[in-house]
Amino acid sequence: MRKITFDIIVILLIAILLITLNQIELLEKSAKFMFIPILAFYFIGQFAERKFNKKQGL
C-alpha cells in the first residue's frame, strides 16, 4: 500500500471516530477539535520512524 493511501485512510478513520463520538455526545464542548492534536501526533510518529530507521540502516 502506498504511503499517501495509508495517510488518507488513517485521517478518514480518525475523523469518522471523532464525528461518531461527537454525535453520541461523548465529547465535551471543548474536545470537539481533538482531530488536530491526534493528526499532529500521527505525523510526528511518522517523522520519528523515518529518522530512526535511517540511523539503524533499515
**Would you say residue 56 has pLDDT above 70?**
no
3-state secondary structure of 39: helix
Cα separations in angstroms, 43 against 3, 20, 21, 51: 12, 23, 22, 12
pLDDT digits (tens, 9 = 90+) for 29-52: 666 677 778 788 888 888 877 877
**Would you say residue 12 has pLDDT above 80?**
yes
Tell me the pLDDT of the chain averaged across its residues. Answer: 76
pTM: 0.57
25 vs 19: CA distance, rounded Å: 10
